[in-house]
Structure formats: C-alpha cells, structure tokens
Amino acid sequence: MPRRAVVPSVESMNTSSKHFRLSAAVLAAGGLCWVVKFVVIAATDGAVSGTADSATAVLYMSAVALMALGMASLGVAVLAGRHIALRVAGAFGGLVAWAISYMVIEGIAMAIVGDTDPVWLGEEIGIVSTGAVLMTVGLLLARPSSTRAPAEVASTV
C-alpha cells in the first residue's frame, strides 16, 4: 500500500514568528509613507515644484519599495519551513497580491470620490486609500500573538 504524503495544513502556517511580524511592520511603514505623501501634497495644495515635490517623490518610491517588500516577505514568512520553490512562489504571490490590492482599493476610492476639486485630490485618493488600508492591515498583523484573540493565532502544533 502506498504511503500518503503528509500535507501541511493551514494551521501550521507560522503567523506569529518574528519574520512574519517584521514583514507586517514593513508593509505598515510603506502604507504610512503613502499617507504622509498625501499629507505633504495637501499641505502644499498640490504644488509640483521645490522641496514638496522632492519629498513626495522620495515618499512615493519608499512606499512602493516597502509595501512590495512587506507583501513579498509576508508570503515567504507564512510558508516558512516549506520547500524553497513554494516560498519563492509565496513571495511572487505577495507581489501580485499587493498589485491587485492597489487596483481594487483605488477603484473603490475613485468610485466613491469621483470627479473632485482640487484635481490633485482625485489623482491621489487611490494612493492614500491604499496606503491607509495596507498600513492598518500591517499594524494588525504585526501585533504580538499574545495580544490577538485565540482564533486569530494559527496553531503551530
């Protein structure tokens, strides 16, 4: 009789490891960068020159890098202890999840706000919404397992 392969269960995914929590914190930091970028643009009423423009460019690039790194790293952290090919697929899946989340959240935000004045608000609403949502998700996932409800913490047995 052939032996059955042991298939890891969802409960064994490590969502309370330091790597998982650090990845979630990186995701939250990226979201915060996009929210701060929006605040800088709002404070300058959409100015596109000078220090404000440089600051928003740095915040934008930092946010993209941090959120992409955070989502990819979450994919790897959830699959810790699995075959390397599966962890690479998890990282790729995290990047895809980040891109899809941006498109979905931006679409919802744009549908709610519609055409608005000032023009920069309509252009930035998707970015600030995505940043706020991903920052919140990252902060919630970064909490230590001792502060989460028992149903939220996957069993590592």
76 lies in some domain:
yes
Q: Is the pLDDT of residue 79 over 60?
A: yes
Let me know how long the chain is.
157
- Burial class of residue 63 (count of CB atoms within 10 Å of its CB; 0-12, 13-18, 19+): buried
Q: How many domains does the chain have?
A: 1
40 lies in some domain:
yes
Half-sphere exposure at residue 59, Cβ-oriented, CA atoms within 13 angstroms: 20
Is the Cβ–Cβ distance between 133 and 101 less than 8 Å? yes
9 lies in some domain:
no
> What residue numbers bound the domain in which 60 lies?
16-142
157 lies in some domain:
no
Neighbours of 72 (CB within 10 A): 23
* pLDDT digits 0-9 by tens, 38-61: 999 888 887 777 888 888 999 999
117 lies in some domain:
yes
Spatial CA neighbour of 124 closest among 40, 61, 54, 50: 40
Determine the Cα–Cα distance for residues 9 and 156; give it in Å rounded to an integer. Answer: 10
Range of lowest pLDDT (4-8, 92-96, 104-108, 135-139) = 4-8
1 lies in some domain:
no
**Residue, of 152 and 86, whose pLDDT is higher:** 86
150 lies in some domain:
no
pTM of the model: 0.81
Is the Cβ–Cβ distance between 13 and 79 less than 8 Å? yes
Quick one: pLDDT band at residue 70, thresholds 50, 70, 90? very high
Q: Is the pLDDT of residue 156 over 50?
A: no
